[in-house]
Amino acid sequence: MLSLSQALKARLSTPLKIGRFEVNSRVLQSPLSGVTDLVFRRLVRRHAPESMMYTEMVNATGLHYVKDLPIIMEVDPNERPISIQLFDCRPDFLAEAAQMAVAEGADTVDINMGCPVNKITKNGGGSSLLRDPETAEAIVRSVTQAVNVPVTVKTRIGWTDQEITILDFAKRMEDAGAQMITVHGRTRSQGYNGNAKWEWIARVKEILSIPVIANGDIFSVEAAVNCLEQTGADGVMCSRGTMGYPFLVGEVDHFLKTGTLKPTPTSVERLQCAREHLQMLWEYKGDRGVRQARKHMTWYSKGFAGAAELRGQLSTIENVQQGLDLIDRAIDRLMQSDERDPRLVEDEAVALAIA
């Protein structure tokens, strides 16, 4: 049975302190480009109202030249705590972008120093900053001077297995003024392959005074607890595990706060969530939202009879109604099938017994 050690319980029973800002949850929803828009965050927050969430990463150079707020930077006035994540390599553009982020309502500003994508690294942003710590320091100094909210950094453990530089890098970020660091336990060359090396996160935690958040391979409550135990980190950040499953952050938060597991959502409940997600994306972004919803819908369609066929159909939907109809039919089939979730079957048995 999964349980929290007394030491972990005691360590995590206080709010997470990011500079002067306090967060009443030790589990965070990561920034995910193309995923963690306002709609997705609303779904996650329903189950994890106190957790910190991040926008998708925003290009500071783009903001400098265009000035209009991109939709990915939009924050709902009621959604707190929220961090706006920026990427770039120019300290002045990042400082300017950070001021816009604060004006939009960001509680903290996060700088992306971990993105492995060529398009970003070849321009000096994302994980390439691991190879240019002087610029990374200048960025943190410039942004902390520009805004009165905490500035945080999200990064990886190094460029390659032969170049794991996180210990020196993380210390430099702290000394430059970063108020929290999130470490994804992979190198840039790993991309998203192989295991996250949590042992490096443990070593970072040993040498820093600011909060250290562990990231990488948190796909379940159990993984979150193991990671916290093994790294001694101040919190965990869930990422791919939330794609098609906006329940995960809430499940981890609930366990860390109560020591008990929330019931896992049934296939029907997951599809009901998918339906709502699609509807909300359509209302927020119109046809573009429907196109973006395709990938989300395929992530939700897993783990029940007929899921593969539904995935194929949802991946090509042309309009919102087509998607809603497909999901409704799948829900009806699941409700009628023998493969219904055992919880539903049990509920029915109880109802019959009472009748």
Measure Cα distances from 280 to 38, 72, 275, 285 in Å: 10, 15, 9, 8
Binding characters for ligand FMN, 300-339, by CB under 6 A (x = yes): ----------------------------------------
CA distance 200 to 153: 16
Within 49-108, the residues that bind ligand FMN by CB under 6 A are 56-57, 85
Whose tokens are 């938060």? That residue is 253
Please select the residue that binds ligand FMN; options are 240, 262, 285, 340, rule is CB under 6 A.
Answer: 240
**Is 89 annotated as catalytic?**
no
Q: ∠ CA(271), CA(275), CA(279), 5° rounding?
A: 165
For position 296 contacting ligand FMN by CB under 6 A, the verdict is no
DSSP letter (8 states) at residue 85: E
DSSP letter (8 states) at residue 97: H
Q: Which of 115, 227, 238, 273 is catalytic?
A: 115
Q: Residues touching ligand FMN: how many (CB under 6 A)?
A: 23
Judged by CB under 6 A, which stretch of 28-36, 89-97, 265-273, 333-341 contacts ligand FMN?
A: 28-36
* Beta-strand pair 180-187/21-23: unpaired
Within 170-199, the residues that bind ligand FMN by CB under 6 A are 184, 192, 196
- Upper half-sphere CA count for residue 300 (Cβ side, 13 Å): 31
Nearer to ligand FMN, 240 or 340 (CB): 240
Nearer to ligand FMN, 129 or 331 (CB): 129
Nearer to ligand FMN, 21 or 245 (CB): 245
Helices first, then strands: H and E counts in the chain: 15, 11
- The residues pairing with 54 across neighbouring beta strands, listed in sequence order, are 83
Tokens of 127: 């994980």
Within 109-128, the residues that bind ligand FMN by CB under 6 A are 112, 114-115
Interface residues with ligand FMN (CB under 6 A) are 30-35, 56-57, 85, 112, 114-115, 154, 184, 192, 196, 215-218, 239-241
Q: What residues act catalytically?
A: 115
